[in-house]
Amino acid sequence: MAYALLILTVALAMPHIPAQGAAPPPSVAKEYLEGHNKARAEVGVGPLKWSEELANASRRLVRYQKRNMGCGLTSLNNHKYGGNQLWTINNKTMTPRTAVDKWVQEKEHYIYNFNECMSYFRTCVYYTQVVWRKSLELGCAQARCSQYGTSLTLCFYNPPGNIKGERPY
Ligand SMILES: *[C@@H]1O[C@H](CO)[C@@H](O)[C@H](O)[C@H]1NC(C)=O
Ligand SMILES: *[C@@H]1O[C@H](CO)[C@@H](O)[C@H](O)[C@H]1NC(C)=O
pLDDT along the chain (169 residues), means of 10: 34 36 77 98 98 97 97 93 98 96 97 92 94 98 97 98 96
| 142: CATH | 3.40.33.10
Please report whether residue 16 resides in a domain: no
Ligand that comes closest to the CA of residue 150: 2
> CA-CA distance, 61 to 73, in Å (whole number)?
10
Please report whether residue 15 resides in a domain: no
Three-state DSSP at 164 gives coil
Please report whether residue 17 resides in a domain: no
> CA-CA distance, 71 to 142, in Å (whole number)?
9
The whole domain housing 37 covers 27-158
pLDDT at 78: 83
pLDDT at 134: 98
Please report whether residue 146 resides in a domain: yes
Please report whether residue 164 resides in a domain: no
Q: How far does CA 71 lie from the centroid of its chain?
A: 16
- 91 in contact with ligand 2, CB cutoff 6 A: yes
Please report whether residue 18 resides in a domain: no
Beta pairing partners, 110 = 117
51, 53, 56, 80, best to mutate for ligand 1 pocket (most atoms within 8 Å of CB): 56
Please report whether residue 7 resides in a domain: no
Please report whether residue 5 resides in a domain: no
Q: Of 160, 96, 81, which Cα lies nearest the Cα of 128? A: 160
pLDDT at 23: 64
Instruction: State the closest ligand 1 atom to the C-alpha of 22, by its place in the atom list counted from 1.
Output: 4
Ligand that comes closest to the CA of residue 51: 1
pLDDT at 26: 82
User: In the chain, how many domains are there?
Assistant: 1
Closest residue CA from atom 6 of ligand 1: 16
pLDDT at 22: 58
Span from the CA of 90 to the centroid of ligand 2 (angstroms): 8
Instruction: State the closest ligand 1 atom to the C-alpha of 56, by its place in the atom list counted from 1.
Output: 1
Closest residue CA from atom 12 of ligand 2: 149
